Amino acid sequence: MELITLRGIEKTYQMGDIAVPVLKGISLSIRQGELVALTGSSGSGKSTLMNILGCLDRPTGGEYWLDGQEISTLAADERALLRNRKLGFVFQSFNLLARTSAIENVAMPLSYGAEHLSEREARERAEEMLTRVGLADRLDHHPAQLSGGQQQRVAIARALINHPPVLFADEPTGNLDSKTSEEVLQMFERLNTEDHITIIMVTHDPKVAGHANRVIRMQDGVILDDAPPVAGSNPKTPEGAP
């Protein structure tokens, strides 16, 4: 099933009088359950594409269908609701609320949802999510008391709290050492294979891209290459190969 379909997506930034085209007609489709890596050098437009996919930004032209809904024309508030229900975000710098316990960080998106959960239900759901990412014993720890890997796992639990079909990860391992990076990526793979969550990650690291089952390479606002990862680039995880 096609979860995401882009048709001729364009994005042009207006810098004074000069129009700077960043995305020059991107068309692609992503099916449910795919683990996609979006790569490219800096300035290639991958972050812009990510923002559009993540409904944080609107394209200047083209169509964006997400889960059977055309959303490139939605208003800001409608996009916010969509982000809450259907999308999860994981950031390079974790973006956890400081001096706030892990469980409260995870439960935070629930307060913006349409479904009004009680305090207790929200806590239970957050606890369940943290257990799922292996932090059942760190519920009341503050971000400062957690390691980088643990923080990113809290961030993943937060992204998954509303059971979104799509998870966006922007350089999820950028601030982590190689060992914890590996853990986080393995968690992504598990979420992808066991829970069939579609994961789209932006990375410039070929080793990270190697964990994906599809790599989209971008350059100068167009898709350069859309293929399974090059075999051998990630010898540790051979199951990434088709």
Partner 1 sequence: MMLYTTARTAFRTLRRNPMRAMLTTLGIVIGVGAVIAMMEIGAGASAALKKTIASMGANVLVVRPGTASSGGVSFGAGSTTTLTPEDSQAILRECPAVRNATPMVRARTQVVYGNRNWVPNAIYGTTPAYLDVQDWSILAEGEPFSDRDVLNGNRVCILGQSLVRELFDNESPVGKEIRIKNIAFRVVGVLSPKGANMMGFDQDDVILAPWTTIKYRVTGASLSTANQSTSTASDAVNSLSNLYPTAQRSLYPEQSSVQQADNPMPVRFANIDQIMLAANSSAEIPLAVDQITGVLRERHRIRAGEPDDFNVRDMAELTRTLSTTTKLMTNLLLAVAMISLVVGGVGIMNIMLVSVTERTREIGLRMAVGARGKDILRQFLVEAVVLCLTGGAMGIVLGHGGSLLVRFLLKWPVETSPTAIATAVLVSAGVGIIFGFYPAWKASRLDPIEALRYE
Q: Residues interacting with partner 1, by CB under 8 A?
A: 51, 54, 56-57, 76-77, 80-81, 83-85, 89, 91, 95, 97-100, 104, 108-109, 111-113, 116, 119, 158-159, 162
Q: Provide, rounded to whole angstroms, the least separation between the CB of residue 82 and partner 1.
A: 8
> Could you tell me how far CA 13 lies from the centroid of its own chain?
23
Give whichever of 142 and 237 is closer to partner 1, judged by the CB atom: 142
Shortest spacing between CB 87 and partner 1, in angstroms = 9
Which amino acid does the sequence have at 201? M
For partner 1, which is the closer residue by CB, 85 or 217? 85
For the bound state, the minimum distance from the C-beta of residue 235 to partner 1, rounded and expressed in Å, comes to 34
Question: Residue 23 in contact with residue 219, Cβ under 8 Å?
Answer: no
Which among 153, 132, 177, 35 is positioned nearest to 90, based on CA atoms?
A: 153
Q: Which two tokens stand for residue 207?
A: 């080793």
Q: Rank residues 32 and 51 by Cβ distance to partner 1 and give the closer one.
A: 51
Burial readout 208-220 (b: 16 or more C-beta within 10 A, e: otherwise): bbbbbbbbbbbee
Nearest CB to partner 1, comparing residues 23 and 215: 23
In the complex, the smallest distance separating the C-beta of residue 81 from partner 1, rounded to whole angstroms, is 6
Least distance in angstroms from the C-beta of 57 to partner 1: 6
With respect to partner 1, which residue has the nearer C-beta, 64 or 89? 89
DSSP secondary structure letters along 201-239: EE-S-HHHHTTSSEEEEEETTEEEEEESPPTTS-TT-GG
**Looking at beta carbons only, is 57 or 220 nearer to partner 1?**
57
- Give residue 114's Cα distance to chain centre: 21
Measured CA to CA, the distance from residue 242 to residue 240 in angstroms comes to 7
Q: How far is the CB of 10 from partner 1 (least distance, A)?
A: 17
In order of 6, 29, 115, 132, 147, the CA distances from 2 in angstroms are 11, 7, 27, 27, 37
